[in-house]
Amino acid sequence: MPTEDRGGLSGPTVLKFLRTTSLVAFKLWAPGPFKLVLCKDLLRSVQMALVKTRSVQKNILCDNSSCTTPVPLLSRVFHGVSTSIIWRLQLNVELLGLCVRFLLPGTFRTLQFYNLLFKLTCGYVKTAVWDIRTAKCISELKECWDSRHSKAANLTKRTLLKLSGFYLKVAQVFATKADLLPKEYVHALSCVLDDCAPMPVGEVKRVVERELGAPISKIFHRFDLQPIGSATIAQVHRAVLQDGRHVAVKVQNTRNKKLMRFDLRNMLFVSRLLDRLRVYLPFDHTSILVEYSTQVPLEFDFNRERRMLSVLGRRISSNHKVRVPAPIDGLCTAQVLTMTLIEGKPLATFTSVSSKKNVEGNLDYLRDNLRELLASFGFQILNLGVFHSDPHPGNILLRDFRDIALIDFGQVKILSDETRVLFAHLVVSLYEESDQLYAILKTLKVEFTINDPKLIRTIASILFDTRMDIPEALVSPLDSEFPAELRSVRINVIPTEVFMIIRIIAIFRGIFSALDIDLHARKLWVSSARQTILDSERVYNFNILATPRNEVNIVDQLKHFSAWLALHGLPHQREYMMAFAKLHVFCIKDLRKLAAENERSALDAVFANFSEQDRSRCLKLCYEHS
């Protein structure tokens, strides 16, 4: 009597579903063996076609002893699966891959990334469970893990270069983390700093001629179509102007703009999903991605980068021995940036293990140059509140170890005045080892899962200082010797502005670790921090002493005020500043005081040369700066 169909799945249907699922997984995760099975099945079908009788065919299918196969285990697993099923599966998977690739490119890139994670995980599990069993001593065990790191690093490099986009942006940070990652990863990922796949020559020529409005031969005496450096956002070409000046021409890679948007959107989705599922990582990943989603699009704004080169770059080079390129007027557009050429080798060429021998005789010069560069970042963050936020080794140039240069001002962060002053308090607290550190971090809204003052000071020293003279700074979090109490600490909240400061300190820490140099940011930045606290009108209940206020030169005040106006795209030339000086307005504080007094005639005189729009924006920014 037939059984009643209750709407459930029949045995053959379930078996077919499981078999198809297994084949899909087999195809995706083991394409090599899958092709062997496919070829074996094709050979078998040819053999069966030559046999005319069904009985002989049955004998061939059922007699395992007479059927030789390159992978007998896989043959038994998929026994009974016809060639047509495998071919249909092959076709369907390929069609599905094409559809996802072109209709859902963001999803396709995400799947590729998770495919990489899956392969890396399987490789390390295999080594941990199986490979190390053959090791007979510590040296063989180390060799076993080094081999796994090398294979995984090369796989990561190939995949990330293929993916490009935001994944390469993240890889640039990890390429400097010799203090965090195995050396094989640092060496493999070093190419992402300035050696990414370049745009086609024809596309470069089209972009330059379209943006500058003339053939390349009319603008430049010589233009090298092969780039001297290629990164995630753009690539740089060497050129000579008609007047003989040597310049660098930065050409934007417009294709990567879409990729960045896709990647950020997908990673933000996954990050927020993890938050909803209460899957917590040791850091506030969502805030970090939100900050990146704000900052990365700014790198595609070459007009903004030109302004930052003109204003921020000039302030850096005039206050510190750090060279910065200058933009060439009339040859800068939204997608092409022409600037003075700075000769030198990227610092990345000296941070790898194989290049350290070239540094040995010049280590003192290199240390002095890096000290000057690190000090300039204290000036940028604390005095100006505007700083270059991407100082990876590909953006730092050295010329015969005698001077240092900072290039690529696409990623520049502007801090709020509140964050700038609070960070100044934090630097002074780290320098003086003040007990107010926890209160400052809390006001800065950096929150941890612990309340132990000693642990918090250790973590703050790692996050906000480059010192390497504490034991915890010398051990990677991936190392078994890393303290268990630190491994369990999680940073609940990282304000988006603070993250960019942490990022540049992490980059410098990685550079210093790779070069065996110990420089302390808090020592180089404390004078700027104290001056920032003294100049600020913000009052906090932190018991931090600052140096006595010195008389400030009026000319210096006007220069600082002029730079502030320029950074915000406001008129700042001499004739504008003279109008301020005549009414004794030498700084932002003086302007805010004048506006508060509501002296209409005085304000009209100060802003006599300003448009109404610039006047309103200046006053608004002035109050926000308080």
Task: For helices 138-163 and 105-129, give the axis angle rounded to 10 degrees.
Answer: 170
Contacting residues for 2 by C-beta, under 8 A, at least 6 apart: none
pLDDT average, residue stretch 92-107: 69
Q: Are 282 and 482 in contact (CB under 8 A)?
A: no
Q: Return the SS3 of 45.
A: helix
pLDDT tens digit string along 119-147?
Answer: 888 888 888 888 888 777 888 888 888 88
pLDDT tens digit string along 545-558?
Answer: 444 334 446 777 77
pLDDT average, residue stretch 601-619: 87
pLDDT average, residue stretch 389-404: 88
Looking at residue 228, the DSSP 8-state letter turns out to be S
Which of 177-191, 296-310, 427-441, 572-586 is the least confident region?
177-191
Residue ranges of E strands in 400-517: 403-406, 412-414, 447-448, 491-493
Residue 218 has pLDDT above 80, yes or no: yes
Rounded CA-CA distance 168/189 in Å is 9
User: For residue 462, what pLDDT is reported?
Assistant: 87
pLDDT average, residue stretch 29-58: 53
Confidence of residue 398 (pLDDT cuts 50, 70, 90): very high
| Angle at alpha carbon of residue 127, lines to 130 and 161, rounded to 5° | 150
pLDDT average, residue stretch 175-184: 69
Confidence of residue 4 (pLDDT cuts 50, 70, 90): very low
Tokens for 136, please give them. 């007979």
User: For residue 120, what pLDDT is reported?
Assistant: 85
Residue 60 has pLDDT above 60, yes or no: no
User: For residue 11, what pLDDT is reported?
Assistant: 58
Rounded CA-CA distance 256/299 in Å is 11
Q: Which amino acid appears at position 595 of this protein? A: A
| Angle at alpha carbon of residue 393, lines to 199 and 114, rounded to 5° | 60
More reliable by pLDDT, 177 or 525: 525
User: For residue 19, what pLDDT is reported?
Assistant: 62
Q: Are 518 and 512 in contact (CB under 8 A)?
A: yes
pLDDT tens digit string along 449-476?
Answer: 777 788 888 888 888 998 877 765 655 5
Confidence of residue 9 (pLDDT cuts 50, 70, 90): low
User: For residue 3, what pLDDT is reported?
Assistant: 46
pLDDT average, residue stretch 107-114: 78
pLDDT average, residue stretch 173-182: 67
Residue 68 has pLDDT above 70, yes or no: no
Partnered with residue 405 across adjacent β-strands are: 323, 397
User: For residue 71, what pLDDT is reported?
Assistant: 43
pLDDT average, residue stretch 592-617: 84
Residue 362: CB atoms within 10 A of its CB come to 15
User: For residue 266, what pLDDT is reported?
Assistant: 76
User: For residue 549, what pLDDT is reported?
Assistant: 39
User: For residue 20, what pLDDT is reported?
Assistant: 62
Tokens for 467, please give them. 């010192």
More reliable by pLDDT, 617 or 32: 617
Of 217, 210, 290, the residue nearest 254 (C-alpha): 210
Tokens for 373, please give them. 């560069």
Rounded CA-CA distance 189/456 in Å is 32
User: For residue 449, what pLDDT is reported?
Assistant: 73
Looking at residue 195, the DSSP 8-state letter turns out to be B
Of 463, 459, 534, the residue nearest 500 (C-alpha): 463
Rounded CA-CA distance 462/439 in Å is 18
Rounded CA-CA distance 187/178 in Å is 9
Confidence of residue 64 (pLDDT cuts 50, 70, 90): very low
User: For residue 362, what pLDDT is reported?
Assistant: 80
pLDDT tens digit string along 474-486?
Answer: 555 545 455 566 6
Which of 263-277, 303-317, 440-454 is the least confident region?
263-277
Contacting residues for 143 by C-beta, under 8 A, at least 6 apart: 135
Residue 53 has pLDDT above 80, yes or no: no
Residue 63: CB atoms within 10 A of its CB come to 9
Q: What is the mean pLDDT of the chain?
A: 78
Q: Are 354 and 348 in contact (CB under 8 A)?
A: no
Q: Are 493 and 445 in contact (CB under 8 A)?
A: yes
More reliable by pLDDT, 464 or 72: 464
User: For residue 626, what pLDDT is reported?
Assistant: 55
Tokens 């980059």 map to which residue?
507
Looking at residue 475, the DSSP 8-state letter turns out to be S
Q: What is the percent of the chain where pLDDT is above 70?
A: 73
User: For residue 21, what pLDDT is reported?
Assistant: 65
Which of 269-273, 441-445, 498-502 is the least confident region?
269-273
Q: Return the SS3 of 197.
A: coil
Residue 27 has pLDDT above 70, yes or no: no
Of 411, 409, 410, 406, the residue nearest 346 (C-alpha): 406
Rounded CA-CA distance 254/188 in Å is 26
Q: What is the percent of the chain where pLDDT is above 90?
A: 23
Of 342, 326, 341, 331, the residue nearest 240 (C-alpha): 341
By CB atoms closer than 10 A (0-12, 13-18, 19+), residue 317 is middle
Q: What DSSP letter does each residue of 559-575 carry, written as one string?
A: HHHHHHHHHTT---SHH
Name the residue ranges covered by the structural domains of the chain.
11-101, 554-624
Rounded CA-CA distance 541/533 in Å is 13
